[in-house]
Structure 1
């Protein structure tokens, strides 16, 4: 912004600012209806149309009311990105032992888990019919994470673990996760903390752990701690209990990935590539006690 007038610094969509001091249009004006049809957003109309076409549910396939969703234009689109299912296949093929824990502020987690179970266990996804061969299991019971000044509580069915019992207890609980599962995070807590790192979705990281690596992927992870969706808590000693809140920037491409939605739509191997990069970086950054 200069002399009260908005000036574009780049015509290429990017997760990172094109130069020091640049701010996003969204941060100044919020969500603008019809952004790519009127006003300055028209320059991105072609980009939107190209990625919507890539996101289309194949027209030669029958409609699946769980795996596909009808857009405002009446066309069918993938509800869950194909690159996610491709990741499951790729990591298994690479011999990587892993689990997936969905973390969302939304209320659609039960539907996500049910839909993923159909694809992964029943082989109902027409583009990925071999997923059952991976022998992954989906826990369709949605958990909850609730935060307060006293800490965080994770609950799912009869299971319950809280940071009041020690943050390492929560870390060990999540490290022992198997298959695919999910937790609904505490949006109100994030809002009460001005959408900053202090109220973000909590993740626990032990930089001394050579056996388990936690990787958090989210569209709204940002290097600005005043405007990010995740709160990384890092242990200070091997098997120790003391922790610190780490800046998001120090964990980029190590334990945190800011999802590039356009690349995730366009490149089937996107999630696999991001995870392998994090694994390689983590291997070189494991701390010694």
Structure 2
């Protein structure tokens, strides 16, 4: 997390780097932000979309084709399938996915309500592979993905499945997500998990996630992250979500779990702050309210957190950043945050109005790397994530520096079919940051060996130690006017002109330089004329 970049260096003489992990191979603690819908689950109850609907959207996002003009008299563009298999990358030039085609042909406009346009888009993408639709030939891939989401027949309908909230025959949390957490725990890595969603699905997520943490998940029986093994307790404490499950031989009883929850909320580490909250955004500020998941339903609704105690209200990007920093600095944990969908929608789904993500994009001062996974992130546009650096919270981090390092576009086509998907993505992000960190460290050390650099850093340090004075306006090349006034030497623009007689400092040349013409040739002619008059020299 952030630090003052000036104070990272020992400025008292030797240019020694301090307060920074200079071993690029050292494993850092991870702070993992996960979107929910189409990132770790394949159902959207709030939008009324079934697993089949979402899988159709997944295939529509990965099906490539050509745009053709409609038949005579119709004038409508028609999309025709080109690729035989869905893929993340385009199989050829000039191709467009069906989802992108739908967005182009059904753009948002002021004349049509957004809900109507969104409904029209969904009607096309959620039925993409149905009979008679443009992607009907890809129907088999939808069935293949659905098969990947099936629970083993041996656990369907069992007590373990039911108490984890798995009432049907399909998984809820993606196996690749749970596998990533288990791999990190078994590798003895330190990590925190922050669930980020616009929707109202956190309670269902918490139920299965807590079953996973308590060792009673039907696909991970016996694996624990509930603190019973002396390691951090990663359970989500949300009202209505069970934090313990009655199983034979379990070390946790319901009363003990409730007591643990109370002790957690009143512990010194959290000062009574819950592990869940809601973010509200406006034009003026951003606010995090802890202990509530309430959100505005429309832009005209009033302030949603009037019922929340003042000590649980955190306002401003820097303060929210400091809250997350302090929370994870006490040790690994899980948090659940509901973000402000209304603000994002009212700003045309712009990234800088989306899910707040403040980080230190340059240094890992306390050895923590943050990574945000969301299926709505685009490779040319953060779209749904407001990623900014703590040094300049009002400025977005350039996307090329963030993608593959701090931001990951979650690809459901891969996260469903590859159980190691999130494990691999985390490794790639770490390797990317490690490489850039190593290069910056080597460059910094090389620069600090230069006496001029050391002198400059000491000067900056000394200036900061003094009483701040009003900053002078920046003047590029400040000595250039003085050089012009004290010499008639030709510049690089005047090398083709003959040299002129040198003049004295007190000559008329100095007194007239301020009003000389701007072009090089006119300047030279004027200087020669004045010099000739001053010295009574005639060629």
What TM-score do the two structures reach when normalised by structure 2? 0.47
In the aligned structure 1, how far is the partner of 2:95 from the partner of 2:343? 28
Instruction: Verify: 1:253 aligned to 2:404, yes or no.
Output: yes
In the aligned structure 1, how far is the partner of 2:207 from the partner of 2:219? 18
- CA 1:229–1:22: 2 relative to 1, 3 Å: farther
Q: Which residue of 1 aligns with 2:206?
A: 113
CA offset digits 1:151-201 (Å, max 9, x no partner) = 3211212633221xxx33322322333322210111111111111212211
Q: Mapping of 1:1-289 within 5 angstroms? A: 1-3=67-69, 4-18=77-91, 22-29=95-102, 30-31=121-122, 32=124, 33-38=126-131, 39-63=133-157, 64-65=161-162, 66-68=164-166, 70=168, 76-120=169-213, 122-132=214-224, 133=229, 135-141=232-238, 142-157=276-291, 159-163=312-316, 167-175=317-325, 176-177=327-328, 178-210=332-364, 211-225=367-381, 228-235=383-390, 240=391, 243-286=394-437
Deviates more, 1:30-39 or 1:277-286: 30-39
Superposed CA RMSD: 2.4
| Aligned partner of residue 135 in structure 2, secondary structure | helix
On the 8 A contact 2:68/2:80 being kept in 1, the answer is: yes
| Aligned partner of residue 215 in structure 1, secondary structure | strand
In the aligned structure 1, how far is the partner of 2:312 from the partner of 2:211? 24
CA offset digits 1:39-68 (Å, max 9, x no partner) = 111122111111110110111114224442
CA offset digits 1:69-102 (Å, max 9, x no partner) = 54xxxxx100111111111111122232110000
On the 8 A contact 2:358/2:393 being kept in 1, the answer is: no
In the aligned structure 2, how far is the partner of 1:44 from the partner of 1:128? 33
Q: Which has the higher strand share?
A: 1
What TM-score do the two structures reach when normalised by structure 1? 0.85
Aligned length: 275
Following superposition, the deviation at residue 128 of structure 1 comes to 0.8
Following superposition, the deviation at residue 248 of structure 1 comes to 3.5
CA offset digits 1:24-53 (Å, max 9, x no partner) = 322333222432122111122111111110
Following superposition, the deviation at residue 16 of structure 1 comes to 4.7
Following superposition, the deviation at residue 276 of structure 1 comes to 1.2
Q: Which runs of 5+ in 2 are unaligned?
A: 1-66, 70-76, 103-120, 239-275, 292-310, 445-539
- CA 1:250–1:260: 2 relative to 1, 3 Å: same
- CA 1:199–1:13: 2 relative to 1, 3 Å: farther
On the 8 A contact 2:192/2:333 being kept in 1, the answer is: yes
In the aligned structure 1, how far is the partner of 2:221 from the partner of 2:177? 14
Q: Which residue of 2 aligns with 1:73?
A: none
Tell which structure's C-alpha radius of gyration is larger.
2
Which of structures 1 and 2 has the larger relative contact order (alpha carbons within 8 angstroms, sep 6+)?
A: 2
- CA 1:143–1:20: 2 relative to 1, 3 Å: farther
- CA 1:224–1:241: 2 relative to 1, 3 Å: closer
On the 8 A contact 1:113/1:181 being kept in 2, the answer is: no
Following superposition, the deviation at residue 7 of structure 1 comes to 3.8
| Aligned partner of residue 37 in structure 1, secondary structure | coil
In the aligned structure 2, how far is the partner of 1:125 from the partner of 1:242? 40
Following superposition, the deviation at residue 253 of structure 1 comes to 1.1
Following superposition, the deviation at residue 146 of structure 1 comes to 1.2
In the aligned structure 1, how far is the partner of 2:324 from the partner of 2:339? 14
Q: Which runs of 5+ in 1 are unaligned?
A: 71-75
In the aligned structure 2, how far is the partner of 1:200 from the partner of 1:242? 14
On the 8 A contact 1:114/1:140 being kept in 2, the answer is: no
